[in-house]
Amino acid sequence: MMEEHRPCLELAQQLHAVERAISQAKKILIQDHIDHCLQDAVGELDEDRQRAIDEFKEITKYL
């Protein structure tokens, strides 16, 4: 886009979209890791420990 001398606003919008897409991909990766790797590694948990994992998962949405 820069080589094509596109307007700065278009370039800024595209960069913002890329940043958001990467951020979302990171969140999905973390959530997937918790769901499939961490949860499988620890196995069945009592209610309090499962709640702690669930809260951690919710907090990761804000990364």
Residue 1 CA to residue 9 CA, distance in Å, equals 11
Tell whether the model's pLDDT for residue 2 goes beyond 80. no
pLDDT-derived band at 14, boundaries 50, 70, 90: very high
Tell whether the model's pLDDT for residue 12 goes beyond 90. yes
Q: pLDDT tens digits for 25-41?
A: 998 999 899 888 888 88
pLDDT at position 63? 78
pLDDT-derived band at 3, boundaries 50, 70, 90: confident
DSSP string across 6-62: --HHHHHHHHHHHHHHHHHHHHHHHHHIIIIIIHHHH-S--HHHHHHHHHHHHHHTT
User: pTM, whole model, 2 decimals?
Assistant: 0.67
